[in-house]
Amino acid sequence: MSLLVSNLPITMHYSNDKEIAATVRHLLTNGWRYISGKKHGKLISPNGKKLAVPGTPSDWRASLNFRRDIRRISFCTQI
């Protein structure tokens, strides 16, 4: 039995990158929503901002850039 968060199972495949997938799972437990798309999934922050989730990142910095984008979106909610 899997847990449902935002109507999606926790065991769902979000990205080929382990760090990105773990980050998405963590965000889903903290009020973010995930919408799957044809090429990329989208994360929606609690304030309504959208962020594309790289499904097959080819750059070694992809997880770092993804976390940076999350911080920028999160910072917008605090201003």
Compute the distance between CA of residue 42 and CA of residue 50 in angstroms, rounded to an integer: 6
Helix (H) or strand (E) holding 69: helix 62-78
Name the β-bridge partners of 4. 9
Name the token pair of 37: 């798309």
pLDDT in tens, 41-79: 999 999 899 999 998 888 899 999 999 999 999 876 554
Whether residue 2 is predicted with pLDDT greater than 50 in this model: the reply is: no
Answer yes or no: pTM beyond 0.85: no
What are the structural domain ranges in the chain? 4-78
Q: How many beta carbons lie within 10 A of that of residue 11, not counting itself?
A: 8
State the residue for tokens 């997880």: 63
CA 24, 30, 22: angle at the middle one, nearest 5? 25
Class of the domain covering 4-78: alpha beta
